[in-house]
Amino acid sequence: MTLKICVITGSRAEYGLLRWLMHSIREDPDLTLQVIATGMHLSPEYGFTFTEIEKDGFPINVKIEMLLSSDTYVGVSKSIGVGLVGFVDALTNLAPDIVVILGDRFEIFAAVQAAMNLRIPIAHISGGELTEGVIDERYRHAITKMSDLHFVSNRDHEKRVIQMGEPPSKVFNVGNPGLDNFTNLKLLNKDELEKTLNFNLAKTNFLVTFHPLNTSSQNSCMDTQELVRALNQFPDAHIIITKPNADAGREGISNIFDRYSQANSNRVFVSSSLGQLTYLSALNVCDVVIGNSSSGIVEAPVVKKPTVNIGNRQAGRLKSKSIIDCEPNCNSISTAITLALSQDFKKILKETTSLYGKPGASEKIKNTLKNYKIEKNGNKIFHDIEYSID
User: Which tens digits make up the pLDDT trace of 212-224?
Assistant: 875 444 588 899 9
What pLDDT score does 216 carry?
A: 44
pLDDT of residue 258: 95
- In the chain, the domains with their CATH numbers are 3-175+360-371 (3.40.50.2000), 184-350 (3.40.50.2000)
- Given this model, what pLDDT does residue 32 score? 97
Residue 3 phi, psi (nearest 5):
-80, 125
pLDDT digits (tens, 9 = 90+) for 103-133: 888 999 999 999 999 999 999 999 999 887 7
- Taking the model in full, what pTM does it have? 0.87
Instruction: Please give, one letter per residue, the 3-state secondary structure of the chain.
Output: CCEEEEEEECCHHHHHHHHHHHHHHHHCCCEEEEEEEEHHHHCHHHCCCHHHHHHCCCCCCEEECCCCCCCCHHHHHHHHHHHHHHHHHHHHHHCCCEEEEECCCHHHHHHHHHHHHCCCCEEEECCCCCCCCCCHHHHHHHHHHHCCEEEECCHHHHHHHHHCCCCHHHEEECCCHHHHHHHHCCCCCHHHHHHHHCCCCCCCEEEEECCCCCCCHHHHHHHHHHHHHHHCCCCCCEEEEECCCCCCCHHHHHHHHHHHHHHCCCCEEEECCCCHHHHHHHHHHCCEEEECCCHHHHCHHHHCCCEEEECCCCCCCCCCCCEEEECCCHHHHHHHHHHHHCHHHHHHHHCCCCCCCCCCHHHHHHHHHHHCCCCCCCCCCCCCCCCCCC
Whole-number Å distance between alpha carbons of 348 and 358 = 20
Q: What is the pLDDT of residue 255?
A: 94
What gap in Å lies between CA 325 and CA 297, rounded to an integer?
11
What pLDDT does 218 receive? 53
Positions of the chain with pLDDT lower than 50, given as ranges: 215-217
- pLDDT score of 388: 67
Per-residue pLDDT at 72: 77
